[in-house]
Amino acid sequence: MRFHTPTSLLLLSAASWAAPVAATADGPDYFSVTGVAENDVLNMRAGPSALAEKIGEIAHDARRLQNLGCQGLPSFGEWEKMTEQQRRDSRRHYWCKVGFQGAEGWVAGRFLREDGD
């Protein structure tokens, strides 16, 4: 079982999810939702943008969201050249395609963490 801090998750992400929408053996197979208030939901969208059509909702504590690939992460080389502030900011701009309860869609990556099952 592996658990990662947000910084190590970004490092893992940058190293293993460089290709858009392509999960790799090195990336997590599943995500858990994190950072969503108990009285809120994580929106699932038709595309990797907050402006894309909302196609579903995922509970604040959902687990076992299948990783179908992420985009918008800096490459490892880009990440190494960033300041700490740029690294923190970059976490707010990536999207991951997930499969959950028979649906597929895009969610903001900042609300995901590796599912430790």
The DSSP string of 52-69 is SPEEEEEETT---EEEEE
Strands 112-114 and 54-59: unpaired
The one-digit pLDDT tens for each residue of the chain (117 residues) are 343 444 444 444 443 333 334 444 457 999 999 999 999 999 999 999 999 999 999 999 999 999 999 998 888 899 999 999 998 888 888 999 999 999 999 999 999 999 986
pLDDT at 96: 96
Quote the pLDDT of residue 87: 87
Across the chain, how many H-helices and E-strands are there? 3, 7
pLDDT value, residue 7: 41
Domains with residue ranges and CATH for the chain: 6-114 (2.30.30.40)
